[in-house]
Amino acid sequence: MDKTGKENLTFSSSSSISVTDAANTPEIFPPHWHNAAEFTVALKDGCVYRVSDTPYTLNTGDLLLVWPGQIHESVLVPSESAFFIQFPSVILENNLDLVSVSGLLYDRHLIRAKDNPQLASYLADRIFSIQKIHNSQDPLAETRCKLCIYEILLKLGEEALAENREDPAFQKTAGSGWRYIRSACNYIRANAGDDITQADVAKQVGLSSFYFSKLFKQYMHQSFPAYLAGIRVKAAAGLLLDNSLSITECAFLSGFQSTTAFNKAFHEITGYAPRDYRKLYR
């Protein structure tokens, strides 16, 4: 991590996957963020972390999921009591089905072994497999590691969808609904930097604005404006690292139509004013 607070992850030349074993896991690490996802397995009780101002205490077998761009810290992690992997956000962003369920995934941070032993055991097994593969001499190690990561993401996606399928409203429209949402998410991500509206996206996917709004919130667990703001804030966070750009330029380049809207959305999502975020994480 540099002196301004941004952790600069350097993946090895042979792999875009980073593996940190228990012996090298820091006991304390200040608030920081990065564009990689970070999944941690607790090997001992009493590992304390914080993600977006929410504290989490992990016991043996529990997992902590930190998604790209989320501010997090290691508050107190006993020596050699945790193990984690990091992988680039492109693994998530290049798959439209994962993007379409990101609203369900990105709010999930803690998986307790006592509450969901099968899921926790499966995910931990895949993560330890990544460690084994990563440390091997296999010339296809990176691809095998990514397959394990996709298995993890697929499992998490299935669990999230299964939980929502218990909702009768979800069951009624599950088949056709996801097709519209995937198409909408693809369009939104491609055009977030432009002055697009809910009506524009609804028209693009062939739905009325009213029905699209209802469907989008049902599947993404957030409103269209909130989802669009999240994408724009993430883009702005990256732009803020460039000192040659003013904060106003970062706001407009990321798609916001006013600095007032930008400042409000940025603070709501990150907990920081853009100027303070730049000072701490640029």
Residue 115 tokens read as 């509450």
Q: What is the pLDDT of residue 52?
A: 85
Calculate the average pLDDT of the chain.
87
CATH domain 18-164 topology: Jelly Rolls (2.60.120)
pLDDT tens digits along 92-106: 877 877 877 777 888
Task: Give the mean model confidence (pLDDT) for residues 217-223.
Answer: 83
Number of H helices, E strands in the chain: 12, 9
- Cα angle: 180, vertex 185, 191; to 5 degrees: 125
Helix-helix angle 224-239:168-191, to 10 degrees: 40
Domain 227-282 in CATH 1.10.510.10? The answer is no
Q: How far is CA 90 from CA 67, 222, 223, in A?
A: 12, 22, 24
Distance of CA 29 to the CA centre of its chain: 19
pLDDT tens digits along 140-193: 999 999 999 999 999 999 998 887 766 655 555 456 787 888 889 889 988 999
Q: What is the pLDDT of residue 18?
A: 92
Q: For the chain, what are the domain ranges? A: 18-164, 173-221, 227-282
Q: What is the pLDDT of residue 281?
A: 61
Q: What is the pLDDT of residue 271?
A: 81
Q: What is the pLDDT of residue 14?
A: 40
Q: What is the pLDDT of residue 12?
A: 47
- pTM of this structure: 0.71
Most confident of the ranges 68-72, 147-151, 221-225: 147-151
> Could you tell me where the beta strands, DSSP code E, fall in the chain?
18-20, 29-32, 36-42, 47-51, 54-58, 63-66, 72-76, 82-88, 110-111
Task: Give the mean model confidence (pLDDT) for residues 255-274.
Answer: 91
Enumerate the H helices of 45-197 as residue ranges: 90-93, 96-100, 102-105, 117-134, 141-165, 168-191
pLDDT at 247 exceeding the cut of 80 = yes
Strands 72-76 and 29-32 turn out to be antiparallel
Q: What is the pLDDT of residue 78?
A: 94
